[in-house]
């Protein structure tokens, strides 16, 4: 098996995450799509590290994980704040700038 | 470096399942089901990391992503309401098809890049100086990425403080004291407020579930003995049907003929059925 199969898997997961962000209305599901995209890039980074025989790719994936954890904390806090103010977790309802 | 047969089998077992779970994110209606799909994808990714000579990242993936991040997601889902199903009505016409087309385009562009680029022959991580994977990672981090590590630490602290600040709610009124609560209770007495704790749900011979009301001293069901959530959801059971069921049981057990006790109703049978 070629190592590129891992890269193709990562591409498919990334595209599925991006489509989730485009299609879903629930803010939390949209956020899960972003997490899926981050995970897909991590898989690609780990595969590249193995391909080139250099653990730097794994270090980068590690940094991506840390930043993703920080991002999740802030993002979910924002979602909770919006839900408290507007009683809704749908992206369609956050249209204060409209009208 | 060659990929072992076991790893090939592992990949071809896990990859279709992962893609299936990830597309579940697109189609499932409830956010909790989507969270379960993502958890599956993340655990499978951890397995793939371990297979790809990255055991440290595999462990971190389980601990950070499935352990912390997805649990945080589930907590927020509980705050926002587990029942909140996504509406599938389109607000922008044709958004679904445009989104699917864009996703497909992204996949084909990225896949095309991978297919057309030539990669060096895979070298593997076997010759990393004879140290284990975490040690090799630590050497790279501490030699080349010290500043990045510090910055990431600051970022984590900032994010933690931001989470606290964003979800903090300032108290608008004074905190109610015990005395104030007691006085409010006494003041609400004329409006039908009970001072004593609420009665427990009913215990019958055959049934002692939470949804069955208790009976008061006259044999009438006490509505407020059933928990409020069950009452609001309409999942409360009627006392009358239970009592008739129990009465037939009592009759059968005692072999009482129906005629001599004509006046056995819910009220008079309370003593023997409860």
* CATH code of the domain containing A40: 1.10.287.3510
Contact residues for B114 (Cβ-Cβ < 8 A; gap 6+): A4, A7, A8, A11
Burial B250-266, CB ≥16 within 10 A → b, else e: eeeeeeeeeeeeeeeeb
CA B209 vs CA B84, B146, B229, B267: distances in Å: 28, 61, 14, 21
**Two structure tokens written together for A42:** 């991590």
pLDDT over 80 (residue A95): no
CB nearest to B114's CB, from A8, A69, A71: A8
Q: Contact B214/B221 with Cβ under 8 angstroms?
A: yes
Give chain B's end-to-end CA distance (angstroms, integer).
76
CA A58 – CA A51 distance, rounded (Å): 12
Q: Which residues of B44-60 are buried (b: 16+ CB within 10 A; e: fewer)?
A: bbbbbbbbbbbebbbeb
Set of chain B residues whose Cβ sits within 8 Å of the Cβ of A77: 162-163, 166-167
Confidence band of A19 (pLDDT split at 50, 70, 90): very high
With respect to residue A20, please indicate whether it lies within any of the assigned structural domains: yes
Residue of B241 and B119 predicted with greater confidence? B119
* Domain assignment present for A99: no
Return the number of other C-beta atoms located less than 10 Å from residue A57's C-beta: 23
Mean pLDDT of B135-155: 92
Chain B: nearest CA to A99, how far in angstroms?
16
Q: Is the pLDDT assigned to residue B10 strictly greater than 50?
A: yes
Nearest residue to B41 via CA among A35, A8, A58, A15: A35
Residue B274 has pLDDT above 70, yes or no: no
Euclidean distance between CA atoms B56 and B226, whole angstroms: 52
Q: Which of residues 67-86 of A touch B (CB under 8 A)?
A: 67-74, 76-81, 83-84
> Domain tally for chain A?
1
Residue A98 placed within a domain: no
- Contact residues for A25 (Cβ-Cβ < 8 A; gap 6+): A90, A91, A92, B86, B87, B91
Q: Which of residues 199-218 of B touch A (CB under 8 A)?
A: none
Closest in B49, B65, B99 to A22, CB measured:
B99
A24 lies in some domain:
yes
CA-based nearest residue in chain B for residue A71: B159
Boundaries of domain holding A19: 4-88
**Cβ–Cβ gap B119/A1 under 8 Å:** no
Report domain extents, chain B: 1-85, 198-273
Establish if A97 belongs to a structural domain.
no
- Give the integer Cα–Cα distance in Å for B197 and B194: 7
B119: three-class secondary structure by DSSP:
coil
Pick the CATH number of B1-85 from 3.40.50.720, 1.20.120.1200, 2.60.40.10, 3.30.70.260: 1.20.120.1200
Longest dimension (CA), chain A: 56
What share of chain B in percent tops pLDDT 90? 35
Tokens of B214: 């208790």
- Is B137 within 8 Å of A89 when comparing Cβ atoms? no
Chain A nearest-CA residue for B32: A29
Question: What is the Cα–Cα distance from A63 to B254, expressed in whole angstroms?
Answer: 75
Lowest mean pLDDT among A34-48, B63-77, B191-205: B191-205
Residue indicated by tokens 């971190």: B60
Angle at CA B38, nearest 5°, toward B102 and B113? 40
Q: How far apart are CA A24 and CA B230, in angstroms?
A: 32
Kindly list the residues from chain B whose CB atom is less than 8 angstroms away from the CB atom of residue A70. Answer: 155-156, 158-159
What is the pLDDT, as a whole number, of residue B235?
Answer: 77
Residue A95 lies in a domain: no
Which chain B residues in 94-133 lie under 8 Å from chain A, judged by CB atoms?
Answer: 95-96, 98-100, 102-104, 106-107, 110-111, 114, 119-120, 122-125, 127-128, 133
Tell me what percent of chain A is helix, strand and coil, each rounded to the nearest 5. Answer: 80, 0, 15
Give the best-scoring range by mean pLDDT among A88-92, B77-81, B151-155, B188-192.
Answer: B151-155
**Segment B48-77 mean pLDDT:** 91
pLDDT at position B272: 45
Say whether A80 and B167 touch across the interface (CB within 8 A).
Answer: yes
Residue B271 pLDDT grade (very low, low, confident, very high; cuts 50, 70, 90): very low
Interface of A with B in 23-62 (CB under 8 A): 23-26, 28-29, 31-33, 35-36, 39, 42-43, 46-47, 49-53, 55-56, 58-59, 61-62
Pairwise CB contact (< 8 Å): B91 & A5: no
Q: Provide the token pair at B209.
A: 């579930």
Residue with tokens 């589930």: B74
The pTM of the whole model exceeds 0.80: no
- Which residue out of A55, A56, A94 would a mutagenesis test of the B interface target, given it has the greatest number of B Cβ atoms within 10 Å? A55
The verdict on residue A70 lying in a domain is yes
Q: Does residue B258 have a pLDDT over 60?
A: no
Give me the residue from B19, B124, B148 closest to A12, CB to CB: B19
pLDDT at B82 (0 to 100)? 61
């Amino acid at each position: 098996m070629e190592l590129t199969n891992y890269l193709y898997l990562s591409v498919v997961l990334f595209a599925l995450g991006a489509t989730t962000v485009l299609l879903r209305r629930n803010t939390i599901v949209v956020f899960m799509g972003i997490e899926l995209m981050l995970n897909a890039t991590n898989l690609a980074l780990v595969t590249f590290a193995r391909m080139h025989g250099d653990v730097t790719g794994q270090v980068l994936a590690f940094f991506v994980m840390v930043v993703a954890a920080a991002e999740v904390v802030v993002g979910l806090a924002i979602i909770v704040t919006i839900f408290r103010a507007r009683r809704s977790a749908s992206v369609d309802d956050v249209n204060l700038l409209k009208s | 470096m060659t990929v072992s047969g076991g790893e090939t089998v592992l990949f071809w077992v896990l990859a279709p399942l992962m893609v299936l779970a990830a597309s579940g994110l697109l189609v499932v209606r409830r956010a909790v089901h989507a969270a379960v799909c993502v958890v599956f994808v993340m655990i499978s990714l951890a397995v793939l990391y371990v297979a790809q000579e990255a055991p440290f990242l595999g462990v971190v993936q389980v601990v950070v992503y499935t352990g912390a991040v997805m649990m945080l997601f589930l907590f927020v889902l509980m705050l926002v309401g587990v029942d909140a199903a996504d509406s599938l009505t389109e607000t922008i016409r044709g958004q679904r098809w445009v989104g699917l087309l864009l996703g497909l385009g992204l996949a084909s562009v990225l896949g095309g890049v991978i297919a057309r680029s030539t990669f060096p022959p895979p070298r593997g991580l076997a010759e990393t100086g004879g140290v284990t994977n975490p040690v090799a990672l630590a050497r790279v981090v501490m030699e080349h990425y010290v500043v990045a590590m510090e910055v990431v630490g600051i970022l984590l602290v900032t994010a933690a403080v931001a989470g606290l600040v964003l979800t903090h709610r300032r108290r608008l009124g004074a905190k109610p004291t015990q005395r104030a609560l007691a006085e409010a209770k006494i003041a609400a007495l004329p409006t039908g407020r009970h001072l004593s704790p609420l009665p427990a749900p009913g215990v019958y011979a055959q049934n002692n579930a939470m949804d069955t009301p208790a009976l008061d001293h006259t044999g009438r069901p006490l509505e407020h003995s059933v928990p409020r959530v069950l009452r609001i959801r309409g999942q409360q059971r009627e006392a009358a049907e239970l009592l008739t069921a129990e009465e037939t049981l009592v009759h059968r057990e005692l072999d009482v003929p129906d005629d001599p006790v004509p006046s056995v109703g819910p009220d008079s049978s309370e003593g023997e059925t409860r």
